[in-house]
Amino acid sequence: MTRIDAKFAALKAEGKKAFVAYIMAGDPDFDTSLEIVKGLPDAGVDVIELGLPFTDPMADGPTIQAAGQRALDGGMTLQRTLDLARAFRETDDKTPIVLMGYYNPIYSRGVENFLADAKAVGIDGLIVVDLPPEEDEELCLPAQAAGLNFIRLATPTTDDKRLPRVLQNTSGFVYYVSITGITGAAEAQATNVGPEVARIKSATDLPVIVGFGINTPEKSKAIASVADGAVVGSAIVSQIAAGKPVTEVLDFVKTLSDGAHSA
């Protein structure tokens, strides 16, 4: 059982919904990013999504793209991202970390080396958005063999024919993308999300967490009420981009987590 599995089991036992926060590793710099990540659990974050900076993202909107570029300009790399996770684990051995990004940096490092290093620093799961189920032998299956969850995205265009393939080797949780398009492009609507979550849950026992288009405590609560939890990324990254002090960023995260937890 991974930390992700344990966390969702604990939340289910408590009758609580999950709150997941996305932070781009190294944004605006390594030390500030680490300080924010270290503060997320006390701000009510159940699972941390740690963004892996990449030059050519395909699912990220302008806010996340800009965060990735700031991180890259500051010298952030895959190795530095792993270093950040290791530093976090020095004081927190319980909060799950999901590394979210693209396959190119992993491929460049070598899958076997990457998985060994990720496991060693305390990464619990992977979201690699440009590897479809048809490529499961590339990373998904080796990751699961190494003890890491491989989390798949389902979207509004994932129809009943496609869904079983998407779910086949997914573990940890299912990430439902609430909108068609990139991150931060539109607002999620619970009335649209609810039936889709129910459809996915009828095909899997995994928790279904909803992300994209959630930017307020009210929206976090509304989406969590029709799912197993909510993910917020762009709204948090926008606070960092605005130069807000770490304490203010974490206070904002707390309002979002309170929203989800009150669902």
Calculate the alpha carbon distances from 248 to 230, 252, 255 in Å.
21, 6, 11
Determine how β-strand 125-128 pairs with β-strand 229-232: unpaired
Among candidate residues 178, 183, 154, the one with its CA nearest the CA of residue 230: 178
d(CA 218, CA 225): 11
* φ, ψ of residue 149 in degrees (nearest 5): -70, 145
d(CA 130, CA 45): 26
Which residues lie below 8 Å from residue 69, measured CB to CB, with a gap of 6+? 53
Q: Is 126:114 a contact under the CB 8 Å cutoff?
A: no
> Hey, which residues are catalytic here?
49, 60
Which residues lie below 8 Å from residue 23, measured CB to CB, with a gap of 6+? 33, 36, 37, 40, 48, 49, 50, 51, 233, 236, 237, 240
Tokens 């190294």, residue?
26
d(CA 29, CA 44): 23
CA 223 to chain CA centroid, Å, is 16
